[in-house]
Amino acid sequence: MPDSSIPRVAVYLDFDNIVMSWYDRVHGRNSYSRDRQRIAADPDEQEIAGRLAAAMIDVGAIMDYAASFGTLVLTRAYADWSSPVNALYRQQLVARAVDLVQLFPAAAYAKNGADIRLAVDTVEDLFRLEDLTHVVIVAGDSDYVPLAQRCKRLGRYVVAVGVAGSTAKSLAAACDQFDAYDALPGVAVPEPEPAPETAPATGRRRRKAAIDPVEQLLSRALRLEHVRTDEEWVHLSAVKNLMKRMDPSFSEKAHGHRSFSDFVKDHPKIAELDETTNIVRVRAVESA
């Protein structure tokens, strides 16, 4: 039986919304609208492929953030998955056990199809799964305000994730908590593009030096637990539990360590331990 004391989280992604909003954030306001025809015609064309790659959504960052609230029991992403742009994400989403809900290309009379389908499914899930405690809505559209209000009336804690500058203030106000996708641990924040005469064809993003997936998992867990508790030093056991929710396959023994504390000690560039008391604590290293 599941532990009833652990919050249970449902995640709903309006995928087209977040992809287009992030593309505009990286390449400038209304960039997706300007490039839409070229993207539809040939997403593999060199310049367009570069712009799409520069504006890729980090699905793992979103799912790890959602897991910081509790156990993920339901995750759905809504989009037209036959679209070449969305197809780029299928492997990422399937790897995180996200249910891909197919929305066929919208006609003019059905342009809000994702909003309606997502909202209907969410309310139905809340009545069907009474143990759900948190609802995470990944979108920025003000059309989701009634949904957020409805979820709150049904006693759920509502979190919205949207791209800074593209999320309606009314949606953020309707939720219990709002966080910008830009601020999630692991997300590379875009730099302003250079002037046209010096701008490279593919655009640029600020990236940190690559770290391996296990180090990334530990780093994200530390930062998310720090945000949750507002404490610099956090309980080692809480970080391990969060890492297991983020990646159920994680095991320190699989990486050659007898204990989780040994695993953390093996990553001194990411974390440091405080073992001076009975409760072992850990914090992120500033440069991680």
Domain boundaries, the chain: 8-183, 213-284
CATH of domain 213-284: 3.30.420.610
Tokens 């995928």 map to which residue? 15
pLDDT exceeds cutoff 50 at 268 = yes
Task: Write out pLDDT tens, residues 151-190.
Answer: 999 999 999 999 988 889 899 889 999 989 998 988 887 6
pLDDT of residue 100: 95
- CATH architecture, range 8-183: 3-Layer(aba) Sandwich (3.40)
pLDDT exceeds cutoff 80 at 81 = yes
DSSP SS3 for 223: helix
pLDDT of residue 110: 47
pLDDT of residue 87: 87
Tokens standing for residue 1: 């039986």
Task: Write out pLDDT tens, residues 45-69.
Answer: 999 999 999 999 999 999 999 999 9
Note the residue count of the chain.
288
> Does the predicted TM-score (pTM) go above 0.75?
yes
Question: What's the one-letter identity of residue 42?
Answer: D
pLDDT of residue 199: 45
pLDDT exceeds cutoff 70 at 3 = no
pLDDT (average), residues 191-215:
55
User: Smallest Cα–Cα separation from 10: which of 59, 66, 61?
Assistant: 66
